[in-house]
Structure 1
Amino acid sequence: MDRTEPTSNRPASGWTRPKRFDRNLIVIGAGSAGLVSAYIAAAAKAKVTLVEANKMGGDCLNFGCVPSKALIKSAKVAHQMRHADHYGLEPVEPRVPFSAVMERIHKVIAEIEPHDSVERYTGLGVEVLQGYAKLIDPWTVEIALNDGGTQRLTTRAIIIATGAQPFVPPIPGLAEIGFLTSDNMWERLRDRPAVPQRLVVLGGGPIGCELAQSFARLGSEVTQIEMAPRLMMREDEDAAQFVEASIREDGVNVLTRHKAVACGTEGGEKWIEVEHDGSKRRIGFDEIIVAVGRAPRLKGFGLEELGIKVDRVVETNEYLQTLHPHILAAGDVAGPYQFTHVAGHQAWFAAINALFGDLKRFKADYSVIPWATFTDPEVARVGLSEAEAKEKNIRYEVTRFGIDDLDRAIADGSARGFVKVLTVPGKDKILGATIVGEHAGDLLAEFVFAMKHGHGLGKILGTIHIYPTLAEANKMVAGQWRRTHINSFLLSLLQRFQTWRRG
């Protein structure tokens, strides 16, 4: 993505800048980036309008993070029931009333919904308009209201936070047979009494892996199709192997290096055709989930008419400003990451630069970005992976601690995975950390904090960790690093000193 410097802070030529403005800021989109932007603007006593065409809370609350994690929890409980003998209990095959599982998911969404509601943000001082926004000129936004009518507002600044939607690959026949995505599956499967008997999951990234494992644990016969050589290509191979092995143990038929080439029906049965090593075969299914990535929502907002470049994302500079410096973008629509927490992080920079950019601007900081995939085991990472370090010719050392040797993990029956830390050669400065295991996403926070504030492994080693907890794994890997960097000369002197002390 080209983050070029805007040519000027002056009004774009060819447009007449209003002498007065209705608003200080208009935010388009009420997902994580939009909500945080509007919150900050209201806290700064700006007059701010938040426009959302669909549901408050955006993708994360309604279609992504929240419902998927609720599904994962139900699936994990079913898995534990099936393997209760692992804990000295009698195993039982769970009965899965799938409609009840889905109803619980919607209850979870409803319980969290007030945090992102119109009422809450109105109470914070944000004007919330529900409708479709379009930029008429660099300072004017027209809103086609959901309840009818239109409204035009002028504003000193605009933040585009329109999020992303599932990318649907151009596979012949896919649209005709009907497909599920992470956006529509929660409603389409809501009243289904049983899980889909035969399910195809197209995609081997985080979303595909989470859904494939969860549905398999709930009783579906799952086939996961991935064109790449392995699952989770963004992670190091050792981490991805743990996840793939676990998914296969749960019964998922993982087909890597398989390209989906066509879909159709025959005799009332849906099928997908895949190609592998030059040969093709068909796989029958009842439902297919397309999980091959998400594409930013870029069309219909009037951006291109204003000369704002949109390709994969809205083109911005390092201050999140577009060609028109008072129009900014944040979240999935801006890139370079598609994470809820990054969207919220960007929103601070976008809001501050939108409101106070004439006085001082702040560069968006991507130096320490963590993320996690919530499979079982989880995979969490911050900073460099080994593959990235090699690709960038960055020198590094690796220190690794196996979670199978951790007391709490053994007691919990979750003794699998590892903590892997990349450091500057000969120093404890952390370049990156990867954790595979139970609650990896939670455990990673200590490394995120350390990297953000310039602390090394020595500080983690010198911090008291409660025994017995999974968090001790972080201290253990720091201790492992220390043992491999002991000064042999000083050890020799110490031995001679102790010998002398004995007389």
Structure 2
Amino acid sequence: MSRIRTDLLVIGAGSGGLSVAAGAAQMGADVTLLEGGKMGGDCLNHGCVPSKALLASGKAAHALGAGEVYGIGRAVPQVDYAAAQAHVAGVIAQIAPHDSQDRFEGLGVRVIRAWGRFTGPREVEAGGHVIVARRVVIAAGSSPMVPPIPGLGDVPYLTNETIFDLRERPEHLLVVGGGPIGVEMAQAHRRLGCRVTVIEGKRALPADDPETAAVALDRLRAEGVEIAEDAMVSRVGGTAGEIEVATEDGRRFTGTHLLLAAGRQPNIDGLNLPGAGIETTRAGIRVDARLRTTNRRVYAIGDVTGGLQFTHVAGYQAGVVIRSALFGLPARAGTAHIPWVTYTEPELAQVGLTEAQARAAHGDRLEVVRFPYAETDRAVAERKTEGLIKVMVRRGRPVGVSVVGAQAGEIANLWALVLANGLKMKHVAAMVSPYPTLGEISKRAAGAYFSPRLFDSKLVRRVVRLVQRWLP
């Protein structure tokens, strides 16, 4: 085996690992990157990119039959499912060069296409090499969890890693799991002409605010998606084309295809983490606020840590690790300002704490401000009035924002900036928002926060009357 010495070894070429490798190499570090699968990881090949591309196909099909409110006659979409999936593949191919081995080697990164295994605290074997690193970053991502459901091993099933390989449209797609992956794929396939049933053991979209999640789920139901909640799967049976899912309460669901969207598990098997003195929990690799493992020379970021499993979180954590590993700065990762979005229509976005979390943390000191899309002129003009924004405020400072409605993810960007920088409601109120835009709803929410303080205040009224007496 050849022996390689490097400043920084990055295990995993997904979004987090690529961000670390690119940043560190361009700042002068000797960087080695390991990837045994596809460059770009889950996000590019099986997750964010293909799912949004398929949702775009579904949105285009849905629009053809939803024009009557604008005075446009209804049209029946002619869906070519194979062509829609080809569109997905084309989007992946267009983005792939940005994450490619050639690009990263061009940045000066040593790329080894092999799986790695720790053989010591700073030593990893991979592809016929022994790599000794000053620092190691584990960014190996996660994979779809396959729950131990009786009978599952005897029937064909799909995951997010295989559903984009389909070229024949499912007649009736059964989705086990009502999280973001499950509901996004449910709406996309329903709009592409499939019957769809979502089977969720508890509450669908459980991580989101129940009030805003209900708006998105109601739309899915109105479009024909069956959503069965409190339906814990007890058994799966049948054959290809005729699959049955049974639940503990006696319900039975039959469909042609089965998609498992019941969670993720960290890709840590095979790394020999104990051999490097790295502890794990049930969720993933144990890390501290600086994202260091119990081996202080090894960091872990992204899905392998078992925290918030989003591409942008891994990218954010990559920046924390670069400041710590390259410059020795005491950089720490937080979650209070992290946004996430479920890309159904309407979109569902969250920044920071939900209302329930905020009330648990701040009690009676919390104020909740709501403002509906229906009172936003651009939303009225485009007939996209379902939804609302709600802002959780403590002493004038937002601690969480929930948005459901058209372009909720775009609206959340402003609030991500506000929370990340500790800004107050007065800063949002001072913003001049172009009229008419959907983003104006943020300023209107800030106005709703201040209105009672200005217009319902006896003190303000007295001051105004006094000033008016003395003004020339």
Q: Would the aligned equivalents of 1:31 and 1:163 in 2 still touch at CA under 8 Å? A: yes
Q: Which has the higher mean CA deviation after the structures are superposed, 479-488 or 413-422?
A: 479-488
2:258 aligned residue (288, 297, 305): 288
Q: Would the aligned equivalents of 2:122 and 2:276 in 1 still touch at CA under 8 Å? A: no
**Secondary structure class of the residue paired with 2:341:** strand
Shift of 1:464: 1.0
Shift of 1:185: 1.2
TM-score (norm 2): 0.95
- In 2, Cα distance between the equivalents of 1:139 and 1:499? 77
CA RMSD of aligned residues (A): 1.7
Q: 1:268 to 1:74 in 2, by over 3 A?
A: closer
2:310 aligned residue (326, 339, 342): 339
Task: State the partner residue of 1:370.
Answer: 339
Q: Would the aligned equivalents of 2:8 and 2:31 in 1 still touch at CA under 8 Å? A: yes
**Secondary structure class of the residue paired with 2:334:** coil
Q: Would the aligned equivalents of 1:82 and 1:91 in 2 still touch at CA under 8 Å? A: yes
Q: Would the aligned equivalents of 2:242 and 2:257 in 1 still touch at CA under 8 Å? A: no
Q: Would the aligned equivalents of 1:321 and 1:329 in 2 still touch at CA under 8 Å? A: yes
Q: Would the aligned equivalents of 2:213 and 2:404 in 1 still touch at CA under 8 Å? A: no
Structure 1 letter corresponding to 2:66:
H
Q: Would the aligned equivalents of 2:151 and 2:237 in 1 still touch at CA under 8 Å? A: yes
Task: State the partner residue of 2:143.
Answer: 165
Shift of 1:290: 0.6
Structure 1 letter corresponding to 2:384:
S
Task: State the partner residue of 1:421.
Answer: 391
Does residue 271 in structure 1 map to residue 254 in structure 2? no
Residues 346-425 of structure 1 aligned to structure 2 (within 5 Å):
346-357=317-328, 360-394=329-363, 395-424=365-394
Task: State the partner residue of 1:49.
Answer: 32
- In 2, Cα distance between the equivalents of 1:268 and 1:431? 48
**Secondary structure class of the residue paired with 1:485:** helix
Residues 133-152 of structure 1 aligned to structure 2 (within 5 Å):
133-144=116-127, 150-152=128-130
Q: Would the aligned equivalents of 2:34 and 2:116 in 1 still touch at CA under 8 Å? A: yes
1:200-247 Cα distance to aligned partner (Å, 9 max, x none):
01111111111111111111111111111x311111211111011001
Task: State the partner residue of 1:492.
Answer: 462
- In 1, Cα distance between the equivalents of 2:236 and 2:321? 43
**Secondary structure class of the residue paired with 1:35:** helix
- In 1, Cα distance between the equivalents of 2:289 and 2:4? 26
Q: Would the aligned equivalents of 1:81 and 1:93 in 2 still touch at CA under 8 Å? A: yes
Does residue 454 in structure 1 map to residue 422 in structure 2? yes
**Secondary structure class of the residue paired with 1:444:** helix
Q: Specify every segment of 5 or more residues in structure 1 that has no aligned partner in the other structure, as ranges.
A: 1-19, 145-149
**Secondary structure class of the residue paired with 1:132:** coil
Shift of 1:354: 2.5
Q: 1:442 to 1:267 in 2, by over 3 A?
A: closer
Shift of 1:500: 6.8
Does residue 240 in structure 1 map to residue 213 in structure 2? yes
Shift of 1:387: 0.9
Q: 1:266 to 1:468 in 2, by over 3 A?
A: closer
Q: 1:156 to 1:268 in 2, by over 3 A?
A: closer
Which structure 1 residue ranges, 4+ long, deviate > 4 Å from structure 2?
Answer: 499-502
Shift of 1:21: 6.8
**Secondary structure class of the residue paired with 1:172:** coil
Identity, % of aligned pairs?
A: 38
Task: State the partner residue of 1:123.
Answer: 106
**Secondary structure class of the residue paired with 1:465:** coil
Residues 60-79 of structure 1 aligned to structure 2 (within 5 Å):
60-79=43-62
TM-score (norm 1): 0.89
